Each structure stands twice: as structure tokens, then as C-alpha cells.
Amino acid sequence: MHPDHPLPAPVTEMSAELWNSAAGVLETNWAGDHMVPSRRLYPHQWSWDAAFIAVGLAYVNPTRAWRDLRSLFEAQWPDGRVPHIVFDPAMSEADYFPGPAFWGVPAYGSRPAHGSTGIVQPPLHAVAAWEVYRRAAAHGAAASQQARAELEWLYPRLVAQQEYLTDRRDLGGGGLTAIVHPWESGLDNSPAWDDAMANVPADLSLLTVYRRRDLAVSDASHRPTDTDYARYVGLVLSYRAADYSDTGLTERHAFAVECPSFNAILGAAELSLAQIAGVLGHTAAAGGHRERAQRITSAIVSRLWNPDTGMFHARDVHTGKLTPARCVSGLMPLMLPDLPAGQVEGVLAAMRSERFGLPVTSYDRTAADFDTLRYWRGPVWINVNWLLRRGLLVHGRRDEAEDLRAAMVRLVHRNGHFEYFHPETGEGLGAPSFSWTAALALDLLADRSVPAYAKAA
């Protein structure tokens, strides 16, 4: 056992080998004041990666966990949005595409020009901050004191993030946040976006002007296609043309979708903010957060549930139609404790079916276009399975949560800390030494507790 990364004392059943390898990945990927997802493919700081990473990093280096979150929120925009990438000024434009010059973000606050992207990612950060705080007691009084100070600093910024998303991004007017680029979902090329993306022009000539760099370090069969990328680039150019303003966005922007996963995380964030507000003595605010979580849950059910499939589906704001694709995003509202019993049972039935398996795949295994290799169109990802495990615990399904936890631990232990995994062989795919896989492996080994806002069994 590595002396710098001790195993938590209360835990008796875990793999020291996996623990130490995970801690080693996080040590390698630390970049001074933030964590990179992967040295080879993702050399900057990613938003929802930072949240997942903080959860596991808190076990081995809570100071870095807080610093990573603080570093991200130091780049928060004046309107409250937290950018999906914060660019490391030590890296060159050639190190990643699309890089800072492509996004053309002006200087704001203390951030220099071109310091970030102009889009967002799922707001998992309040959940992460609460989880890091919960672990602080295990590191002694000084860590607990630091944790409270960090919550004091983060809380108003987390609230501003939620307010931006629930106000300026309610493009459909139904109480849900709309994403305006597939990258905002974190599930970049998911089939959930296929119908909406079909209405986005795919100008392949853009890729002669803006050249992809991901294919230089990864297998093309694992990554989004050139057609996907042409549309991704076009959507950024469209959003950038009006300086990333959300005013009148649906009238001039081809992609606006209400994602069940994004909005489930939005609701979970409100519940974690209620916990944080309680610790900080903001009693009235805590009640407001819980009420907002209930409203988000109700809106997800009323707008995104399909009784014919027993799942949630993404809604195209432009057409009002639900996508027919059965994707892992449609299972994510299980995280919400106020989800009605009928929807809970529907999601559980879908998870248990041949469509998803264990660990859960990113897309319906029985679909004709299920792809075992290509990013979010079939492979297994640890982060969404980690979220689903939380959902199982929230609804008192402890045995199923333990089965999922064990399946994830076995997958990573056997195949390594990869970005994602082949759904049939378990082979590691994408970037190796991937930070959120390593961080969540630590949490899966150490924490079997039920979230504080779980529904009573």
C-alpha cells in the first residue's frame, strides 16, 4: 500500500492495487492548480470532469479537490455560466482543437481574453462540493475548517450557476434547461441528439479551415465522425456570432434540446445546495433549493417521460418532439428522490432489461445502430454508471446499487482507468489514465453510504 495514499480505515473490502493505481493517475494528471482529464487528449480543465474528479480526489488530497473546484469557478462568467473548458494559458493553440482562439471569448472578471469556452456542461459541482465536504471529517479538524470555508466561497457561485441555467436557458418555457450544443450534455455524440442534429447544417469544408486534432492521438473508429464535427463547429460559430448571448437564441440557432440527464443533475444540484445552505445557516435558502428541485423533477416528468418506452427522452425545443432513441441519459432522473413511483419502476425496468446490461451501456444494445466502439453510441462509461448507482441508493435499491458498484470496480480493475469501455469485452477505449475513472474508482471502493436526500425506504 502506498503510504501517500492510505485506504480509509472503515473500509475492509477493497483492492489496494486499484486504489493505488487510481491515486497514481490523479497524481500524474495534476497540473498545478487543476486536474486535466487526460494528459494526451484533454490538456485543459473540463467542467463536469472537475466535479467527478473532486469526489474521488477528496479521499487522497482534499486540498487539491477544493482547489480544482475553485479554479473552475474562478473562470465563471458574470452571467453565472461556468464554461465547459477553462484553458490553461501554458498550453498552445496547437495542443487542442477547438482551442481558445477559436472560441474567441473576451476577457471577463479576472480571466484573460480567450480564457475559456462559451458553453456549459452539466452542473454537477454542488453535488461534488457536498461530497467533498462530507469526507472532510475523516481528515481531521483542520480539513473540516477548510471545507466550511470552501463552501462559503463556492455557495454563491453555485447558486449563480443554477440561476443562469434555470433562467436564461429555459428556452422551451417549461421549466427545464436547454442545451445549445451536444458538448454541453457531456454525452457528445449520443443518439439522443440525432434527430435535432439532422437539422443542423454539416459543412464539411469547415474541417479544412478548422482541423481536428483528436484523431492524431486516438482511433477514429472510437470518436465522433467528421459529419458530427462539422456540425459541432458550425454550432459554435452560430453561438459565437452573437457573443454567446442567449437572448432570442431559438430564432437564430439550430440546436436547442432539453436533456433528461442534464436536468436531472440540475435538480440534484439543488438538493445538494439545500444541504450546503443548511450547513452555512441559510435555512430559508435551503427550503428554496428543495422546492426548485421538486419543480425541476415535475417538469422532467411532464415534458420528457414517454410512457410507451418507460423511459425519459430528450425533447427538441424547435419541434417539441421527443427523440425515439433509448439512451443512458433517459435513465438519469432516477437520481431525483421525488421522482414518482411509476417513473422509478419504468427506469428500473429499462436498466434491468437486455437494452442496457451491467454496467449500463450508453445506448440501447438492441438498437440497429448500436456501436461498441464509438464514444457515447454504445460503450460503457463509469461516470454515468456512478450517477445511476446514486439513483439506486436514493430509491432504496441497495442490492442493485451494490451489484452495479461491484461491476464497475471489476471493469476498471481488469482493464485500467480508461475513458470508456467496450460493452462486450470490457476493453479500455479512448484516453488511458483518465481522471474521472480513477477518481470514481476511489469513491466506489470507499463510499457505500446513501445520499443525505434519499427517499425514505
Active-site residue numbers? 188, 419
> How does 218-254 read in b/e, with b if 16+ C-beta sit within 10 Å?
beeebbbeeebbbbbbbbbebbbeeebebeebbeebb
Closest CA to 374 of 179, 194, 118, 196: 194
Residue type at 398? R
Locate 38 and state its grid cell. 487526460
Pairing, β 257-258 against β 428-429: unpaired
Q: DSSP alpha helices (H): ranges in 355-434?
A: 382-394, 398-415
Instruction: Give the list of residues 6+ apart from residue 133 with CB closer than 8 angstroms, or none.
Output: 147, 148, 150, 151, 276, 279
The CA-to-CA distance between both ends of the chain, in Å, stands at 37
Looking up cell 473490502 gives 13
Q: How far apart are CA 420 and CA 97, in angstroms?
A: 21
Closest CA to 212 of 232, 235, 241: 232
Q: How far apart are CA 264 and CA 127, in angstroms?
A: 12
Residue type at 222? H
Instruction: Give the list of residues 6+ apart from residue 404 with CB closer than 8 angstroms, or none.
Output: 358, 359, 360, 385, 388, 389, 392
Q: CA torsion sign, 62 to 17 to 222 to 329?
A: negative
Bridge partners (DSSP) of residue 312 are 305
Instruction: Give the list of residues 6+ apart from residue 62 with CB closer than 8 angstroms, or none.
Output: 132, 135, 136, 139, 143, 146, 147
